[in-house]
Amino acid sequence: MPNVLCWIAAAVLLGCLAWLDKAMPGRMFRTSNIWLEGIFAGLYFLIYMSLVIFGSFSGGLTWDAVDAGEKVYVFLICAVGLAAGVSIRTVLARKRRANLEEQDKFQENGR
């Protein structure tokens, strides 16, 4: 029963965070900050991979039972995925920032 309550609390918290993200002003600025987007991408990826890795070990598999080649393969996948996620989010943040600055210039010239 406590496990179900934790999932319900997590869902409620996620819903509140999504609502606050849409309701708070300055969303374009938050999503166009290159450093914030890179950090969030890294955190999201690490949280996701930790859930995947530790979820598979909770089924009876232990890290000691995995041979060295598979450990290197897991770390390689994590490194490549982390680099790809961070780079994609930072490139998109740069594009959003350029679009935001272009819109600001257009609005200033239109007045």
Contact between residue 47 and residue 53 where contact means Cβ atoms under 8 Å apart: no
Mean pLDDT, the chain, whole residue set: 81
Q: What mean pLDDT do residues 37-41 have?
A: 86
Q: What mean pLDDT do residues 78-102 have?
A: 89
Task: Give yes or no for residue 60 having a pLDDT over 70.
Answer: no
pLDDT value at position 84?
93
Query: Could you state, in order of their start, the residue ranges of all structural domains in the chain?
Result: 1-25, 32-110
What pLDDT band is residue 80 in, cutting at 50, 70 and 90? very high
* Cβ-proximal residues to 37 (8 Å cutoff; 6+ apart), any chain: 31, 89, 90, 92, 93
Task: Give yes or no for residue 26 having a pLDDT over 80.
Answer: no
